[in-house]
Structure 1
């Protein structure tokens, strides 16, 4: 059996452009979330306010997700993504102005921030299924696994740099000018995307009634037990393991490391995940993928518990780093499952169903973490979330035996 080329997806020009678009867009988005977290907590000194940021984004993202998936399957993907980036630019520009010193101190500024985050949730509902669908149009099926690995790695690289840049930018130039950097990166994503050609629409049911289309997408995920098990597992694990949302509290009040230490804390999980994904390009995770997925998320839960209990900065960094390592493994496997087992004509709808489960679980996790932190205390909330993750892994492994026995080597043809 010939050895697989770890760079096979990178040999396609448009895929490289796609990676540039995704990198710049995720970088801008992750920076924006961090900057807003810092600004809101600085204004309120209340962990509940951090939970509300997640809630404001997840309500529209989940509420519109299925309809967005239908539209994505009906429309040309590149043009739709251009419109999404333009909308994101408008939101980022609004946040840039509301963080001006003369406006940031106003009582109403907090409500404007929440409103703009809500609008961002509307845009996000379309971005996730559009990017997922576009990926399958810039590479052939035989390199889907490799492309999914590089795409996820790019996502993680941006997630590494985004929080780190945001943390250091807040420290050096303040919240307001940090927002200007976000606008610049969004513009870079837009310009790069213009270099990808328009793609055909692989959907024989153009004009299909919307509710019939939505039902078809939901039923497909329900009946494809491997997809259903994978995204359910990831959603609940991230929902209860959302310690990252409380990092401003740990950085300012528990570990007392300030904005500079906050940047390192935010970057640590993504560094671990990025390293894992680069290694997985050379050492594919397809063999015994189900067991590896379960083991990875179990390890993630353990890392979250260690982080919650730690009062030592370097132990906290290590715990977050290894939470990223385990999360990187689960992400590569889940994205490979999605790419290999989803028909082209249903990619938008299936990705939208997934986004309800996983794409918004970070924001729901932020809300859950903020709420439980208010009710239980910050440390107890994080440890509780990690324990719930462990329980989820065990119960999912029992409930979805097909997922547990999953081997993707046969599908990667």
Structure 2
């Protein structure tokens, strides 16, 4: 890691961009609300069912609409004002929260209505995701982009830290209180993006391409870029195997016996590690041997996952989750910087959509996979086996994608 900051680009100059500040505020509040919702839904569903598989279906309900709609959503993000897309999407998420409040007041013991509402959440996130992830290049210059992306990641991670802890505390007063906070945040996000002044840059549309071909253009481009394909697929398989997030309610209630407050702290611990590492990346950016650093940190993520899986002590579990978040942040930073630099602007929305499919597969579908495996073999073996699988993926990907391993400076990456 080079100790020299990015030349001629200061944090003050990036934060001086008015619309970028609005973007940061909107992303922060949206993430904060999503994290509070995740804690509340996870605890409420497990409290109703005491079933690991039921927690797995929470992830599946959000993953399926994401994977079905996100490619068309990427095409939409390249052709329609991204401010409106994000505002409407968060309006839908506010509606979903209102339905969760209604279900809670009905005192329903049937979990299927909750899953149906989570499908609506997945639909809204499918359209918001590509628009959000392709926003930063519209707001700042290419030279400002690495710092802007790092700041955006910091905003995201701070919300991921505060959201679960805040959600766990608010849940003391019941799920309605937690969902009410989410509703306020989601409405605020919609207002923030409507207030942006950045004009949508209409991209030329090839009249010979149909909607399906346009939607698939992101996949076609990534297939020709082994560095991009390697980076996003590494994250997919590493987190898919090594993710233990879906099983945290089981650890909080049945293994560590720390209640919803402990669950909130465990959900926050990875983000605390991530935000600390991200601030280090802002002040002392990765400048050399970037590819090797990313592979090493993903392997460390796998080791920390194994430690967490075997731990029966709350503080050791928090420490392992902290390391997992910090290690994962390096991979997130490299991938988030590499994709805009390696992608032509007219395809960025669609390429971001493909990236989000991989992220959603590793997160939401990973929660489903973790819940199913834990239901079959138990929570602890599921987490340990997943961590071992992550280490195996690192070794295999270093062999399959040598160009990714050999990346030295991110600033040398250009569209193919």
Give the equivalent residue in structure 2 for 1:29.
34
Q: Is the 8 A contact 1:91 1:119 kept in 2?
A: yes
CA-to-aligned-CA distance 1:5-57 (integer Å, 9 cap, x gap): 24442121110110000000111111111110000000000011000000111
Give the equivalent residue in structure 2 for 1:291.
292
- 1:76 is displaced (CA, Å) by 1.1
Pair 1:409–1:56, CA change in 2 (3 A):
closer
Write the distance in 2 (CA, Å) between the matches of 1:403 and 1:337: 11
CA RMSD, 1 decimal: 1.5
Which of 194-203 and 223-232 deviates more? 194-203
Give the equivalent residue in structure 2 for 1:47.
52
Secondary structure (helix, strand or coil) at the match of 2:408 reads coil
Which of 359-368 and 36-45 deviates more? 359-368
TM-score normalised by the chain length of structure 2 = 0.95
Give the equivalent residue in structure 2 for 1:77.
82
Map 1:7-406 → 2, pairs under 5 A: 7-100=12-105, 103-104=106-107, 106-108=108-110, 110-171=111-172, 173-205=173-205, 208-406=209-407
- 1:359 is displaced (CA, Å) by 3.2
Write the distance in 2 (CA, Å) between the matches of 1:25 and 1:120: 12
User: Structure 1 stretches of 5 or more lacking a match?
Assistant: none
Write the distance in 2 (CA, Å) between the matches of 1:155 and 1:339: 18
CA-to-aligned-CA distance 1:64-121 (integer Å, 9 cap, x gap): 1111111111111111111111111111111122112xx22x333x111100001111
Write the distance in 2 (CA, Å) between the matches of 1:267 and 1:374: 25
Q: Is the 8 A contact 1:142 1:412 kept in 2?
A: no
Write the distance in 2 (CA, Å) between the matches of 1:409 and 1:395: 23
- 1:347 is displaced (CA, Å) by 1.2
- 1:179 is displaced (CA, Å) by 0.6
Q: Is the 8 A contact 2:297 2:327 kept in 1?
A: yes
Write the distance in 2 (CA, Å) between the matches of 1:275 and 1:359: 24
Q: Is the 8 A contact 2:59 2:366 kept in 1?
A: yes
Q: Is the 8 A contact 1:60 1:122 kept in 2?
A: yes
- 1:412 is displaced (CA, Å) by 7.2
Write the distance in 1 (CA, Å) between the matches of 2:410 and 2:59: 37
TM-score normalised by the chain length of structure 1 = 0.96
Pair 1:135–1:206, CA change in 2 (3 A):
farther
Q: Is the 8 A contact 2:87 2:191 kept in 1?
A: no
Q: Is the 8 A contact 1:8 1:146 kept in 2?
A: no
Secondary structure (helix, strand or coil) at the match of 1:191 reads helix
CA-to-aligned-CA distance 1:390-411 (integer Å, 9 cap, x gap): 0001100110000000123443
CA-to-aligned-CA distance 1:122-176 (integer Å, 9 cap, x gap): 11111110001222111111111111111111111111111111111112x1111
Pair 1:360–1:126, CA change in 2 (3 A):
farther
Write the distance in 2 (CA, Å) between the matches of 1:346 and 1:176: 41
Q: How many residues align?
A: 408
User: Structure 2 stretches of 5 or more lacking a match?
Assistant: none
Write the distance in 1 (CA, Å) between the matches of 2:175 and 2:86: 28
Which of 196-205 and 162-171 deviates more? 196-205
- 1:206 is displaced (CA, Å) by 6.3
Secondary structure (helix, strand or coil) at the match of 1:141 reads coil
CA-to-aligned-CA distance 1:371-399 (integer Å, 9 cap, x gap): 01011101000001101100001100110
Write the distance in 1 (CA, Å) between the matches of 2:8 and 2:86: 35
Pair 1:334–1:60, CA change in 2 (3 A):
same
Write the distance in 2 (CA, Å) between the matches of 1:88 and 1:286: 39
Write the distance in 2 (CA, Å) between the matches of 1:145 and 1:359: 23
Write the distance in 1 (CA, Å) between the matches of 2:352 and 2:161: 24
Secondary structure (helix, strand or coil) at the match of 1:99 reads helix
Pair 1:74–1:352, CA change in 2 (3 A):
same
Write the distance in 2 (CA, Å) between the matches of 1:390 and 1:170: 36
